[in-house]
Structure formats: C-alpha cells, structure tokens
Amino acid sequence: MTALQEMGRRAKAAARELAAAGELRQKALFAMAGAVEDSKQEILSANRLDLDQAERDGMSAPLMDRLALSPDRVRGMADGIRSVAAQADPVGQVVSGFLRPNGLKIEKVRVPIGVIGMIYEARPNVTADAAALCLKAGNAVILRGGKEALRSNEAIAGAMRGALEACGLNPDCVQLVGDTSRASAVEMMRLTGYLDVLIPRGGQGLIRSVVENSRVPVIQTGAGNCHVYVDNSADVGMAAEIIFNAKTSRPSVCNAIETILVHREIAQRALPAIQKRLDEKHVELRGCERTRAILGDGVVPATEDDWAAEYLDYILAVRVVDSMDEAIRHIARYSTGHSEVIVTDSYENARRFTAAVDAAAVYVNASTRFTDGGEFGLGAEIGISTQKLHARGPMGAFELTSYKFIVTGSGQIR
C-alpha cells in the first residue's frame, strides 16, 4: 500500500464515521475556526518560511500576494469556516418523496459523497475553505496544495485536525498530502476506490491536466472566457459601468470579462464612452475593423486568437456585431460556459438571450463578478464548475452531497 492509498483507506474510514455524526460536525466546524485563530502565530511563522523560500525562488509579486497571510487573512479564514458552520446542514435533507401504488414509500435523501480529493495551487486559504465545506457536507477530504504553500498548509491543516480530535471526531477527516511532487498529483488521479471525486482548483494548465488524465470523476472548475453583449437598446452609462467593473475590479479571476460585443446601431455612441471609462485603468483594447473605424488606430487589431483568449489582465477584445443573434453565435463559439451578460432595455431580448446562451450564469444588466459562492449566498465556495454534470456554477457544501433512495415497505415483491 502506498502512502496515498493508506491516506485513502483512512479517509474512507473517517468518512463513514462522519456520515453518522450530525451535530458533532457542526460543533467541530466551530472548533476548527477557533483552532485556526488560536494557531495564528504558528500559521504566520510557517507562512513566513514559505514566503522567504518563494522570494529566494523569484516568485512574481501577484503570486507572492496570493501566498501571503496576515493576521487579518487568518481571521478571515476562521470567519469563513464559521459562516460555513452556520449554514443549514445539507445532509439528511429529504429532497422528494412519494408513495407508489403498491404501498412502497420512496424517499430521496441527501447524503455525503464520501471522500473528496482537492488538488490546488498557491493560496493557503483554500486549505481552510475546502476542509470546512467538505466536512459540512459529511465528507472526508484529502488536500494536495502547491509546494510553495506547504508549510502554511501544514500549519492550517494541523490546527484543524487538532480541533477534530478534541471534539472526538476522527482527525483523518482532513488529511494533507505532504508530497507535493507531480507524481503525487498523478497518483491522486488514479486513486479510484478511495476518492469519489477530484476537484482541481487553480490555473488552466492544472485543470486541463486533471480533466485529461484523471480516472477519478472530476468536477471541472474555473476557466472563464466571459462576454458582455451591449444591445442596441442598452443604457450606455450602465453598459460602461458594468464593463468597467467586470474587466477591472479583479482582472486575474475567472469571472472577469475578456471580450465585449457591441450592437452596430449603438456602437458609435457606446464605444467611446466605454473606452473613456476603461482608460482610467489603462485597459488595452483589441478591436475588430468596425471598432477601429470608430475608436481609431490606437486600438490594436484583434485576431482570431483574441476571441478565444482568457487574458486575465488589463486587456479587452471588442467586436461590433450586426445583431443579438450574431452575439449569441459568437458566444456559443468562444465562451467557456462560465458567465455571460446582456446589457439591454428590451424585455424580449433579455428573455431570448438568457434562454439561448448556455453558461453556468447568464446575466441581464449586472456584472459577471457576481458569479461567486459568497455573492450567491453559499457562504464559501469550493470552486466554480464550468461543466454540466453534477454541479454548475458556484459550488458550496450542498454541491458536495449525493443522494440515496430509502424505500420502506411491508413485504412487497415484484
């Protein structure tokens, strides 16, 4: 038995205990939050070692920022665990139920999935969020973070495991993989029989590698080539604000937009207003011919690659379209199915756009930046699913459950 198989075996045993521990699970979550706060010094010292190493390795400033913890961020982690603890328990919910003509009562009841595997990158807060959400839904979790954050993750996971034990729960409900080599990620992808699902969270390269190579069922998260379509009936000021917010409030995240599509009848008025707002943050525009005819040669000519790009940067592709249908076709071709917006004052167009566009979240007159577990009211999120099986969009504890049928009879045979 390899080290990971042994972790899998222990996780399965822990998951079985956990499924039966209703009230104790809630109590343990509050204890975990307290333990993270109480271990602030240890966590910050471990994080300091990770940061020193990262600096020696020449890590970029944005990545350093993702890795860095502060007293505030540690408190934020603890508060996140508490907000998960305070939610309604998804386990045991009777989803539906009915009586068959033969007298059998069939109830569909929500149950934990079992053992969740997480493969993620630099941010140590994922360790706390993921453990809390998995535990909330009655699942054991095996966490494999990035090597850059290993010491921080060990300190956070250690605090949480201590709290579990103090509550009388099996600490193996939360296990951290110490081996952060590529080999350990590959082995997790082969850990069928132990892992019920694997959730990758991080950059596109990581996610694609897991989706293509895993034998364990995967929930795909993250990639967002998101669009705003500005309808000919749009309020130009509203369109400019939504685009400015969706592009610049945090360009590096998956719910930021990458391309805008502007109806030709409003382009002459809308494009200069949008450009003016985006100029405040020095956003580079890459436009189609008609865009450049309106905004001038300062706009870089867009190529086919621009329509498909997820820039995650202060760059925005711009295309003038003849109709909403052309916008819908563009989105069908290039969208990653994450978040799509129409800005419109037409009831009929709002109705048609939301029906025709196939994405996890389709917006009328609002920013894509709301596609987020917290903003959707889930407390925290374990990721944003861009696939259609099992869960789509922001995933909280509820999405980490399955169901079973409980059928009660009085001797029925068929």
53 or 346: CB nearest a second copy: 346
Other C-beta atoms lying within 10 Å of the C-beta of residue 402 = 14
Give me the residue label for tokens 């699970």.
25
Of residues 107, 176, 97, the one with CA closest to residue 144:
176
DSSP 242-285: HHHHHHHS-TTSTTSEEEEEEEHHHHHHHHHHHHHHHHTTTPEE
The minimum distance between CB 379 and a second copy, in angstroms, equals 14
The minimum distance between CB 219 and a second copy, in angstroms, equals 8
The minimum distance between CB 19 and a second copy, in angstroms, equals 7
- DSSP type of residue 368: G
190 or 264: CB nearest a second copy: 190
- The two tokens of residue 257 are 């937009």
Give CA–CA dist 217/188, Å, rounded.
11
Give CA–CA dist 299/283, Å, rounded.
11
The minimum distance between CB 401 and a second copy, in angstroms, equals 9
Of residues 359, 258, 368, the one with CA closest to residue 307:
258
Give CA–CA dist 118/221, Å, rounded.
12
The minimum distance between CB 154 and a second copy, in angstroms, equals 30
34 or 217: CB nearest a second copy: 217
191 or 359: CB nearest a second copy: 359
199 or 299: CB nearest a second copy: 199
273 or 293: CB nearest a second copy: 273
How remote is the C-alpha of 283 from its chain's centroid?
25
Give CA–CA dist 231/324, Å, rounded.
7
120 or 363: CB nearest a second copy: 363
Q: What are phi and psi of 316, to 5 degrees?
A: -140, 130
322 or 404: CB nearest a second copy: 404
Is residue 263 within 8 Å of 272, Cβ to Cβ?
Answer: no
First to last CA, the chain: 44
The minimum distance between CB 387 and a second copy, in angstroms, equals 7
The minimum distance between CB 213 and a second copy, in angstroms, equals 9
Give CA–CA dist 180/54, Å, rounded.
15
The minimum distance between CB 332 and a second copy, in angstroms, equals 7
157 or 242: CB nearest a second copy: 242
Indicate the residue type of 341: V
Per CB under 8 A, residues contacting a second copy are 16, 19-20, 98, 100, 104, 106, 111, 113-114, 196-197, 211-212, 215, 217-219, 235, 238, 241-242, 244-246, 249, 332, 350, 354-356, 358-367, 369-371, 375-377, 387-390, 392-393, 402-414
Give CA–CA dist 402/219, Å, rounded.
14
The minimum distance between CB 74 and a second copy, in angstroms, equals 24
